[in-house]
């Protein structure tokens, strides 16, 4: 019994954390409850119920399965469901009518074969990556509606009415879901994506800002504060889902319809590339092979310069992204970083390193070359962000 | 019109490619068609149809939405749907009965409130990461069934019958899907996961085998052949889905029920870590900063040794994983690689580098230190694979 209490307490704590992390989750839950309750009013008011009968349940089902966290996802699913029901229903009615011209036995064989072939074909279509990304749900509903309508053993006019009822209840449920999703505290996938991108750039900037201090100075106090970039490494799948959802969204806030959402994937790729370099750099911060400070100090100036200039450039880019302006203020920082990279190269070329052990130099050299790589990654990020601003 | 023809031709080519890449996709499509056709027989045979009436459509719906590519995913969805229908139906009947004790007006208010609160709560539960991974679909179906049963404005005994019919048709549809999925050319998520892991290890081995030749020799012919490892960087999300599916699967072939599927995630993590190092190494292969060959040749021996020994060790590990034996034959290769790493360190310590430019050395040194990292990554992979074999 005590165990159960413990589980409940743990779950409650988790729930509180989930809710505090993103209060929109709580709001979303209430929105779903509200939408289902509203649509289920169909059953309470007799004049509505008489029109649709049992088919009214399709409205409830549609709300439950279509209502997603973001407006884009809900809209996409609703559109998929609506159009697929229309197409599947039409094709089902057509198959039914076609088969009914033949005799009773031939009819069921023809219908069975058409269900078999059409559902096999539609299932195979779901493997196409492009269709899978945006129309997977629609294909599922298409198979569903087609099978239900075409095999139902009713008379012709009943099938038509059934298809009609199914379509209108699905439309009612779908629009209820979409309307509630849009008009009560909307959660836009596009805005989430935009903010995610800006936050990720900032996280890189935070690391680069702290890195110089951490690596070249002896006081290693607050190292945990540099781990923020790690979440950047994980977000890829999430980003693609957000892009696919955002493509369904109408214009909202600062984003017009057909905002170049695809470009965010490109920006995301260059951000992740930079994050991997940073991860490698972080490895040297925590490495056991400690490079003597006098060697580090030889590359200190240019490395610190590069990392802090990159950090400033990234901060400017993130700010520009947030305000949706072209961040020209990043340019000078990038120029400075490039100059510092050149200086580093020349400081390595001159024989400043008389009697040092090569094994001691290597980690410092690797750090320096990683930072040079990060400068070019920063340039890539800046280019893709500028491209986004121009599209 | 020509455009349409082109699109069709393109689609046909894509379809052919998809089918050839994995012929199981075609088989899966036919399996789905077969399952739906079989279940739709309900409508044709009068004695079956009379028992269930309109509720027979739930069997068709269940087959369509539950049938997934792998046995594990189908089984998981079927179980989710079955149990959620049972729970949702039971709770719905209970709510209905409870509300019917009160007056007519109070009844609809109580039902409305219970639908609101329970669906909001269940929607919030879907945000828990653990529940989301395995029971997301079940929670959705729970909300669905509960709302449908509890708000349907029928009399008490009819509600019970409705819940009963719904449950039995869902069970029929679910078991049809699961049986066809298991007994006709089954596709096991667990086996896929196992093979994916072994193939990924092999891909790393292929790169490491070719790297020595590519980097230290001048002939740069077949560089494209080394890009195989890149697919390893992308598979993370896929792996998690496979693990979640595999956990639902009964014992099959060489895998018992409760095979330690979670450990594959750990192996996958260490494989990806190694793949990132390899990606960095690959960057040096294609880099514009060309290191003079006489410098490369100084680290050639130990680097070639390390990378070929790692490659052999990884190959042995992959072989051992495939045959599910503990690959003891990887041990000596790992030992050799470790020795080579030590040799490299001493060759760097001695002053073999009199008049060379530091800037030329750095890339070679970075390559050498990356290969040393790869040796430790290989050890990590070996450890996690051994752990898997022992579990």
pLDDT at residue B223, rounded to an integer: 56
> How far apart are alpha carbons B258 and A142 in whole angstroms?
36
> In this structure, how many other beta carbons lie within 10 angstroms of the beta carbon of residue A27?
14
Residues A199 and B198: their CA atoms lie apart, in Å, by 37
Tens of pLDDT, residues B265-300:
888 888 888 888 888 888 777 765 566 777 777 777
Cα–Cα dist B189/B339, whole Å: 39
ipTM of this predicted structure = 0.85
B130: number of CA atoms within 13 Å, CB side?
Answer: 3
Compute the distance between CA of residue A45 and CA of residue A43 in angstroms, rounded to an integer.
6
- B339 contacts: CB under 8 Å, gap ≥ 6: none
- What is the nearest CA distance from A153 to chain B, expressed in angstroms? 6
Q: Do B43 and A368 touch (CB under 8 A)?
A: no
Predicted confidence at residue B285, as pLDDT, reads: 76
- Look at residue B213 and give its three-state secondary structure: helix
Say whether pTM exceeds 0.90: no
Residue stretches of chain A with pLDDT short of 70: 44-53, 153-157, 217-225, 287-291, 327, 348-359
For residue A42, count CB atoms less than 10 angstroms from its CB and return exposed for 0-12, middle for 13-18, buried for 19 or more: buried
pLDDT value at residue B119? 92
Interface residue A359 vs chain B (CB under 8 A): yes
Q: Rounded CA gap, A41 and B51, in Å?
A: 30
CB-based contact B40 A237, cutoff 8 Å: no
Choose from B22, B33, B122 for mutation: most chain A CBs within 10 A.
B33
> Mean pLDDT score of chain B, rounded to an integer?
82
The residue in chain A having the minimum alpha-carbon distance to the alpha carbon of residue B370 is A366
The CA distance from A16 to B252, in Å, is 41
Q: 3-state SS of chain A?
A: CHHHHHHHHHHHHHHHHHHHHCCHHHHHHHHHHHHHHHHCHHHHCHHHHHHHHHHHHHHHHHHHHHCCCCHHHHHHHHHHHHHHHHHHHHHHHHHHHHHHCCCHHHHHHHHHHHHHHHHHHHHHHCCCHHHHHHHHHHHHHHHHHHHHHHHCCCCHHHHHHHHHHHHHHHHHHHHHHHHHHHHCCCCCHHHHHHHHHHHHHHHHHHHHHHHHHHHHCCCCCCHHHHHHHHHHHHCHHHHHHHHHHHCCCCCECCECCCCCHHHHHHHHHHHHHHHHHHHHHHHHHCCCCCCCHHHHHHHHHHHHHHHHHHHHHHHHHHHHHHHCCCCCCHHHHHHHHHHHHHHHHHHHHCCCCCCCCHHHHHHHHHHHHHHHHHHHHHHHHHHHHHHHHHC
List all residues 6 or more positions away from B26 whose beta carbon is below 8 Å from its beta carbon.
Answer: A124, B19
B154 Cβ under 8 Å from any chain A Cβ = no
Of the partner residues B108, B121, B362, the one whose CB lies closest to the CB of residue A365: B362
Query: What is the pLDDT at residue A157?
Result: 66
Q: Provide the H-helix boundaries in B247-292.
A: 261-285
B149-180 pLDDT, tens per residue?
Answer: 887 755 566 778 888 888 888 888 899 999 99
3-state SS string over A205-217? Answer: HHHHHHHHHHHHC
CB B241 within 8 A of CB B325: no
Pairwise CA distance, residues A57 & A251, whole Å: 32
Chain B residue at shortest CA distance from A13: B128
Model confidence pLDDT, tens digit, residues A310-355:
888 888 888 888 887 776 777 888 888 888 888 877 776 655 555 6
How many Å apart are CA B146 and CA B130, to the nearest integer?
23
pLDDT of residue A287: 66
| CA atoms of B36 and A144, how far apart (whole Å) | 9
Q: What's the whole-number mean pLDDT along residues B26-48? A: 82
| Cα end-to-end span (Å), chain A | 61
CB contact under 8 A, B116 and A60: no
A186 interface with B at CB cutoff 8 Å: no
Tokens read off for B159: 């509600």
Distance CA A124, CA A28 (A): 34
Touching A: B residues 108-127, CB under 8 Å: 108, 112, 115-121, 123-124, 127
Residue A14 at interface with chain B, using a CB cutoff of 8 Å: yes
Closest CA to B144 of B56, B81, B60, B98: B81
């Amino acid at each position: 019994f005590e165990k159960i209490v413990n589980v409940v307490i743990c779950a409650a704590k988790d729930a509180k954390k989930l809710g505090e992390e993103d209060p929109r989750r709580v709001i979303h839950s209430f929105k779903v409850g509200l939408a289902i309750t509203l649509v289920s009013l169909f059953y309470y008011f007799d004049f509505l119920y008489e029109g649709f009968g049992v088919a009214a349940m399709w409205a409830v089902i549609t709300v439950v399965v279509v209502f997603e966290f973001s407006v884009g996802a809900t809209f996409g699913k609703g559109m998929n469901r609506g159009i697929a029901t229309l197409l599947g229903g039409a094709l089902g009615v057509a198959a039914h009518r076609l088969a009914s011209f033949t005799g009773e036995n031939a009819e069921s064989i023809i219908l069975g074969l058409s269900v078999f072939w059409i559902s096999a074909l539609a299932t195979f279509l779901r493997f196409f990556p492009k269709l899978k990304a945006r129309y997977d749900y629609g294909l599922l509903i298409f198979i569903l509606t087609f099978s239900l309508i075409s095999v139902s053993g009713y008379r012709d006019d009943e099938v038509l009415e059934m298809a009609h009822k199914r379509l209108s209840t699905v439309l009612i449920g779908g629009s209820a879901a979409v309307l509630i999703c849009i008009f009560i505290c909307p959660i836009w996938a596009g805005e989430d994506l935009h903010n995610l991108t800006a936050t990720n750039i900032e996280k890189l900037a935070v690391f680069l800002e702290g890195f110089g201090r951490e690596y070249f100075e002896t006081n290693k106090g607050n190292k945990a504060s540099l781990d923020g970039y790690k979440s950047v490494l994980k977000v890829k799948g999430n980003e693609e889902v957000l892009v696919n959802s955002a493509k369904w969204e109408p214009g909202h806030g600062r984003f017009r319809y057909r905002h170049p959402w695809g470009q965010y994937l490109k920006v995301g790729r260059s951000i992740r590339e930079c994050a991997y370099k940073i991860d490698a750099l972080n490895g040297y911060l925590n490495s056991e092979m400690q490079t003597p400070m006098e060697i580090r100090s030889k590359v200190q100036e240019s490395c610190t310069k590069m990392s802090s200039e990159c950090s400033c450039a990234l901060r400017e880019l993130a700010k520009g992204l947030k305000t949706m302006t072209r961040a020209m203020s990043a340019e000078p920082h990038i120029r400075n970083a490039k100059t510092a990279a050149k200086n580093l190269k020349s400081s390595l070329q001159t024989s400043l390193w008389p009697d040092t052990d090569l094994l001691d130099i290597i980690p410092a050299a690797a750090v320096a070359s990683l930072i040079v790589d990060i400068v070019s990654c920063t340039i890539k990020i800046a280019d893709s962000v500028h491209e986004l601003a121009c599209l």
